[in-house]
Amino acid sequence: MYDNWEELEQSIINCKKCKLYQNRTNIVFGTGNKNADIMFIGEGPGADEDKEGEPFVGKAGKLMNEAFKGLGIKREEVYIANIVKCRPPSNRVPEEDEAVACLNYLRNQVILVKPKIIVLLGSTALKNILGKEYGITNARGKWIEKKGIMYMPTWHPAALLRDENKKIEFWKDLKEVVNKLK
């Protein structure tokens, strides 16, 4: 574990801890306010993110930005990262060994950001952070406290593209998050 961002970022630049390095264009480390109260954790980079080196810049990210705008959340005020930092081929779910290899980077990011709230975007984030016993359908929208951090599991923004009802729930969950800090 590193106690500063420079060393952490340096340590990841040539990462080959899992097979995902073979196809990456860019490592998608994370973005936003390094002292944020709210941290968002997604699954892994897609094609757009791999190209730009920034999380949630593609279609799902645009939807997330819309929700942010409507709720008065500024993207630059929060911190956004993923379970894995390199793009899984064809946007498949990260495999167990890939997530395990990458998770210490994310843990280090959480330690440095010290968020009050972590929003878990979808099943992959939920299961890898809080445990395999959780399911997103049951857990979403409910606060879970662990080691002084409040977790809010919600739908992955990509799921909203497929189901309008999930959009309403996603907004509701993020509204809870905003209200919690008031």
Residues of this chain that interact with ligand URA (CB under 6 A) are: 42-46, 49, 55-56, 58, 60-61, 82
Question: For residue 28, which of 48, 10, 59, 53 has the smallest C-alpha distance?
Answer: 53
Of 4 and 173, the one with the shorter C-beta distance to ligand URA is: 173
Q: Closest CB to ligand URA among 36 and 182? A: 36
As measured in angstroms, the least distance from the Cβ of 182 to ligand URA is 28
| Shortest distance, position 37 Cβ to ligand URA, whole Å | 20
Please, what's the b/e burial string for 61-90 (b: 16 or more CB within 10 A of its CB; e: otherwise)?
bebbeebbeeeebebeebbbbbbbbbbbee
CA–CA gap between residue 144 and residue 82 (Å, rounded): 19
Q: How far is the CB of 132 from ligand URA (least distance, A)?
A: 18
Closer Cβ to ligand URA, 159 or 177, answer by number: 159
Instruction: Tell me how far, at minimum, the Cβ of 174 lies from ligand URA, in Å.
Output: 16
